[in-house]
């Protein structure tokens, strides 16, 4: 398949969407299916896919079952495994984009820089490296796992060898037989560490906090199963619903009754001791001191065995500095290395976009948030008319598929667009008191959750100690709350005159080089 990039001639549309991952495409496809072609999608990459396009590290895969981690309107009967890997997920997204014909509305290789609300015209002015765009409505669908977090350790810039983040894997670097430091033990690291262990001469894993792991029940799907799903779609629908509800039940332990998490805690301990039966010292290093679920629960059946290999050293310390070719831990432990791989996660609670979007008072989202992001129904922020998030604050999950949440968020934005058009509205802006009550309710429901009571410091928490990341309830409740745009919660401004029909036509597509 040949990717296309759109010529930048058309830079005005009713709706502008930033991002072509699952979230951005969910809204773009919703608009296309409704016969609405007055939108432009902006993306800095060469093709669709978002995080599944950008993350290409060895072993990259999804930790949600394939039949659940896909669009509800685009089932794939041909997943090769029960937990799809990066390349297959990327191909799935590309195929859906092709089949729904949204590529002609996408401007690739276009980097969004700053967005400013123009009160005079009730439009958003979006500055990009390809020029200025004007939109009636601007939607941020960049997702929480799109901006790698890179620590600035003293001496790191002077390190003589290759240094790269897992989300920006440098495949030109040959690590075979080399001494490699891996910093971080999050979801990405537990996937690429076993792959690195097979080829490097020595792997030094700097682990500040060990994660809880459960077995990963991955297996190849049979030709019979794939054929049945293709010929009898109801079977795949049933399988998807079964997966959905079994995952949804874990909300009871994560949110309502954290003591229930003692059961998976026992299973996780058993998984650790069974996979490392002959090394009690390593087992002790890898045993977390917090309740399972407080941090993200990870799935792996090859991480622990990899750490038990003779060419792996687990250093239970953070990194203090880099001296020449030596990584120095906070407790003084040292490791001489030839390369450094950062598995240090993403900017989740400090979204980079917060410093580049200015609302009615000229201040940025970051100014309004003051270190703790918040939004109404994960979608809108008071003082930023016609600006929406898909997968905004407090829409993350620790148990199920984010695509479910993306579709629900896209429905909320779509209904907002419908109601604005029917009501001939120039702008909608969530009322401050509604947003305040919503977020007070979110934090009240957050108090008994394992994310607050589990005894850990996680990336779910922002600099003020608030969990501004996760949704503290069942996902079907979120879908119900976002199925309709509650316009009564918004201040509205009518258009000065009926908006003329769009006559701009379609952007011109040219092949990517």
Give domain limits for the chain. Answer: 10-147+347-511, 156-218+231-342
Q: What is the DSSP letter of 470?
A: B
Q: What is the DSSP letter of 11?
A: -
d(C-alpha 370, C-alpha 462), whole Å: 11
Summarised one tens digit per residue, pLDDT across range 183-201 is: 999 999 999 999 999 999 9
User: Looking at residue 431, what is its pLDDT?
Assistant: 98
d(C-alpha 101, C-alpha 95), whole Å: 10
d(C-alpha 211, C-alpha 232), whole Å: 40
Summarised one tens digit per residue, pLDDT across range 302-346 is: 999 999 999 999 999 999 999 999 999 999 999 999 999 999 999
Helix (H, G, I), strand (E, B) or coil at 320: strand
Residues 156-218+231-342: name the CATH superfamily.
FAD/NAD(P)-binding domain (3.50.50.60)
User: Looking at residue 125, what is its pLDDT?
Assistant: 98
pLDDT along the chain (513 residues), means of 10: 50 96 98 97 97 97 97 98 98 98 96 97 97 97 89 95 97 98 96 98 97 97 97 97 97 91 95 97 97 95 98 96 96 97 93 96 97 97 98 96 98 98 98 98 96 92 94 98 98 78 39 30
Phi/psi for 178 (5° steps) reads: -85, 165
- Orientation of helix 475-482 relative to helix 402-422, angle to 10°: 10
d(C-alpha 288, C-alpha 191), whole Å: 18
Residue 292 burial (10 A CB sphere; 0-12, 13-18, 19+): buried
User: Looking at residue 509, what is its pLDDT?
Assistant: 35
Length of the chain in terms of residues written: 513
CATH class of 10-147+347-511: alpha beta
Phi/psi for 133 (5° steps) reads: -115, 150
CA dihedral 259→261→263→264, nearest 10 degrees, is -170
d(C-alpha 143, C-alpha 23), whole Å: 7
Phi/psi for 298 (5° steps) reads: -105, 150
């Amino acid at each position: 398949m040949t990717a296309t990039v759109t010529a930048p001639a058309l830079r005005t549309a009713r709706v502008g969407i930033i991002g072509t991952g699952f979230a951005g495409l969910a809204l773009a496809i919703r608009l296309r299916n409704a016969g609405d072609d007055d939108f432009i999608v902006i993306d800095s990459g060469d093709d669709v896919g978002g995080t599944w396009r950008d993350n290409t590290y060895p072993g990259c895969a999804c930790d949600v079952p394939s039949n659940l981690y896909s669009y509800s309107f685009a089932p794939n009967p041909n997943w090769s495994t029960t937990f799809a890997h990066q390349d297959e997920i990327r191909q799935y997204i590309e195929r859906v984009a092709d089949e729904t014909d949204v590529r002609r509305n996408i401007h690739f290789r276009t980097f969004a820089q700053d967005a400013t609300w123009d009160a005079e015209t009730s439009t958003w002015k979006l500055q990009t490296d390809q020029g200025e765009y004007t939109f009636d409505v601007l939607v941020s669908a960049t997702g929480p796992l799109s901006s790698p977090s890179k620590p600035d350790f003293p001496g790191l810039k002077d390190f003589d060898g290759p240094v790269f983040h897992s989300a920006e894997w440098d495949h030109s670097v040959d690590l075979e037989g080399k001494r490699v430091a891996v910093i971080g033990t999050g979801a990405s690291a537990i996937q690429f560490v076993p792959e690195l262990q097979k080829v490097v001469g020595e792997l030094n894993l700097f682990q500040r906090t060990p994660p809880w792991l459960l077995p990963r029940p991955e297996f190849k799907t049979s030709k019979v199963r794939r054929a049945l799903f293709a010929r009898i779609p109801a079977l795949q629908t049933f399988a998807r619903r079964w997966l959905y509800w079994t995952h949804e039940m874990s909300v009871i332990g994560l949110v309502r009754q954290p003591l229930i998490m003692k059961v998976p805690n026992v299973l996780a301990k058993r998984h650790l001791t069974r996979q490392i039966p002959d090394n009690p010292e390593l087992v002790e290093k890898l045993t977390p001191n917090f309740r399972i679920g407080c941090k993200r629960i990870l799935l792996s059946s090859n991480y622990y065995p990899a750490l038990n290999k003779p060419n792996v050293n687990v250093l239970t310390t953070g990194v203090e500095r880099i001296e020449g070719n030596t990584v120095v831990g906070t407790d003084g432990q040292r490791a001489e290395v030839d390369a450094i791989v950062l598995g240090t996660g993403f900017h989740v609670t400090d979204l980079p976009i917060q410093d580049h979007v200015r609302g009615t008072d000229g201040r940025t989202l970051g100014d309004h948030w003051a270190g703790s992001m918040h939004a109404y129904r994960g979608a809108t922020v008071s003082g930023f008319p016609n600006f929406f998030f898909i997968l905004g604050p407090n829409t993350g999950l620790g148990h199920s598929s984010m695509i479910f949440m993306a579709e629900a968020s896209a429905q909320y934005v779509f209904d907002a667009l419908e109601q604005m058009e029917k009501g001939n509205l120039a702008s909608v802006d969530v009322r401050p008191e509604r947003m305040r009550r919503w977020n007070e309710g979110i934090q009240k429901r957050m108090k008994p959750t394992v994310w607050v009571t589990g005894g850990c410091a996680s990336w779910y928490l922002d600099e003020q100690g608030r969990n501004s990341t996760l949704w503290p309830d069942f996902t079907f409740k979120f879908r119900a709350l976002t199925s309709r745009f509650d316009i009564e919660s918004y201040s509205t401004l009518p258009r000065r005159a009926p908006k003329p029909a769009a006559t701009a036509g379609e952007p011109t597509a040219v092949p990517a080089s």
